[in-house]
Structure 1
């Protein structure tokens, strides 16, 4: 029934494409032809399906055969892999057994290369031979066993470090100056400790590959020493050696010079220095005056019969020559007149001594004042910032100590100078007293005769 219905549907569908039948016989004939045509189509389809099924079965069998072959190959490969793994394990065990102490030697070589690299990073020698840093870096961080050439190069680097540490070498290289610019310079290296270019001391940077001028150079004496060593052609010459490879030179450069010390004293320090300068100038002027007066008085002593007005002794001797009417006065009156003449000369001889004593007494007091103000600044800094950073308190402490030193430095010389002036003045006054007493005795003898 289903096949009949299908044929009817096909015939009805194909009817518009064909001519209308003339009668029922023609319709039946047409249906029969359609049925036979459909049967042929179905047979062809069944045959194609059977052919496809056979082909698929054959393909399935072919795929199964290939799968079996692939499994066989995989099993064989797995067997070979396992065999090779066992062989590799046996070879590793054999290598480890045969290597023996070479593994420990390898570890020792890595450790030695790392230590030598750390030492070379701070060595002045690296700036002359910068290529050794790359070799030591690769050898210290590598994982493969070092070759014979690498061991020989490591031995050569160690020997070079020891040999060059006792040499003074001059070489041309690029350095970084105080302003951060790279310049070409003639560098002198003293062992592995000190290097300088001209009068500029150098330190290492960039892991020793580059030499850099110290930001603050040491004192002028040390710089002149380096410059003299660079110019010297003698086989032996003095030179500064820094065993810390620049650390001590950096500390030396941080030391303040005289101008910075004076500035640390502040206003009180400037006042103390002004007092000292004024006092020394006054003392120098008075010393020159006393020396000139003493020289003229010694000349007058050699010629007492002709007194002159250019010295105190001559003016005392001329006391009686000015007015002959007083030559016959009483001895007491003569003594008073001589004493008056001596006292008239004493202020000029003792000039500046009182002000020098004042300066010598005031300078330590001003230093104490600077100490107190410096401590006040220090305590204020501690109140605001605490005691975590000692550098914050350095200004106040520096002012406290520097002003004390300034006060003592000014007071002590002024005391000695004042004592020297007083001694010199007393010696001249003593000459006046002796000569006036002699003049008085001479006049009394003449009068008694």
Structure 2
């Protein structure tokens, strides 16, 4: 029985929470007060529900009216859609009939417009690489618009557009046979811009200030080539730039720049030497040393040979040349017999031989060692090539080009050094041997003269 009041209180609190909109301001002090308050709340809630029902009934007629309006709009849209669909079908049939009639009336004219579109596209591609556009800009814009308009089946070319296309083709052909000088802004190799006189040679090349130029269609600019061809081509460009109505020789690229582009990509002498790497520089250093020694030997032997030739023409022995020093041996030993004099002459000649043949052996060694060093560079380059193949495969030949270039360049450098050294060594040996032979011949003549003089007294005594 004690739990009954607690249960009733719980039910009462639940009911009060449901009807929170009409919460009771005062707190119940007994069960009778609580029952009275619940009865009042129920009555208030019933009145609120009646008010809501009345409001709903009032708006019900409005909702019905809105529904009827929406149905009318739907019916009108359905009727309009059906009418538009019928019009579309009728227009589609009419358009097909008109298109067929247009195609029949155009006949071969449609093929002509197709050819005009193709010619406009080809001409635009030609103008992109033509150096004439450097002097006459803006030609490509008309051709782009013309080709795009011709791509539409509803747009036909007018007489003015056809004549403009004809004019552009004729102007390109006419300007291709002229050499014209004009002034415009060019981009130098260092990136700076400068206003300069540009000479256009037909539709082939542009030159300015003795340098070859290129036309860049994307930016509409004219720039100097980053790398220029060799001096013999630049000299002709300089002559053309500075000439005034004279006929001058000029290195012309008939491809409009393709051959010139390949020509400037070819490495020059310095770049080829750099491809040889450290081995190539060693070969050149050895060759330079051999060349300096050869020059010194040539000069020395030339002066010695000149002095020996002068001594041959003189009876008075001089101490400034090998032959004179050999002849002085006879004067210093007038009483020696032939055998003793022969030994002293041989000794004098042997003293002169090292002066005449010094460092010639080193030149011969260079002629032998240079190809061997070149072979070393060849082996090193091939090792680098095979390493590149191992790492990256054979898909890209540029990865192997460095090693192959080193292999070939070092071989060439070795042969370039060795072959002249062989000729130089032979020539120097021949010249030195020639001087030595003169010394030996004169020595033999001195001995013969001494022997003849020593036999004269004996002959005179036997005659007596």
- 1:319 partner SS: helix
The corresponding residue for 2:259 is 248
Aligned runs of 1:347-366 on 2, under 5 Å? Answer: 347-366=354-373
Which range moves more in the overlay, 169-178 or 365-374?
169-178
The structure 1 residue matched to 2:232, chosen from 203, 207, 221, is: 221
Equivalent in the alignment of 1:53: none
5 Å matches for 1:145-224? Answer: 145-207=156-218, 209-224=220-235
1:285-304 → structure 2 map (5 Å cutoff): 285-304=296-315
CA RMSD of aligned residues (A): 2.5
**Residues 199-223 of structure 1 deviation map (CA, whole Å, 9 limit, x = unaligned):** 2222221348332322222223322
Asked if structure 2 preserves the Cα contact closer than 8 Å seen for 1:127 and 1:208, the reply is no
1:139-194 alpha-carbon deviations (Å, 9 max, x no partner): 11103111111111111111111111111111112233323444322111111121
Residues 120 and 208 in structure 1, CA contact (< 8 A), matched pair in contact too: no
Q: C-alpha distance in 1, partners of 2:214/2:174?
A: 21
Aligned 1:86-105 pairs, distance under 5 A: 94-105=101-112
Note the C-alpha offset of 1:434. Answer: 1.2
Distance 1:141 1:428, change over 3 A: same
> In structure 2, do the counterparts of structure 1 residues 441 and 158 end up closer, same or farther at CA, with 3 Å as the change threshold?
same
Change (3 A) 1:178 1:440: same
Counterpart in the other structure of 1:418: 425
Question: Are the counterparts in 2 of residues 175 and 212 from structure 1 also a CA contact under 8 Å?
Answer: yes
Q: CA deviation at 1:422?
A: 0.9
Question: Pick from 320, 325, 346: which aligns with 2:330?
Answer: 320
Distance 1:295 1:85, change over 3 A: closer
TM-score by length of 2: 0.75
Q: 1:140 to 1:182 in 2, by over 3 A?
A: farther
Aligned residues: 371
- Does the 8 Å CA contact 1:359/1:411 hold for their aligned counterparts? yes
The answer to whether 1:265 aligns with 2:276 is: yes
Q: Given the alignment, which residue of 124, 129, 141 partners 1:134? A: 141
Deviations 1:284-324 (A, max 9, x none): 111111111111111111112x1010001100001122244
Instruction: Return the alpha-carbon distance in structure 2 between the equivalents of residues 296 and 234 of structure 1.
Output: 60
The separation in 2 between residues aligned to 1:396 and 1:89, in whole angstroms, is 69
Unaligned runs of 5+ in 2: 1-75, 457-464
- Shift of residue 89 of structure 1? 6.7
Task: State which drifts further: 313-322 or 196-205.
Answer: 196-205
Q: Provide the residue aligned with 2:292 in structure 1.
A: 281
Q: Is there any run of 5+ residues in structure 1 with no aligned partner, and where? A: 1-66
TM-score, normalising length from structure 1?
0.77
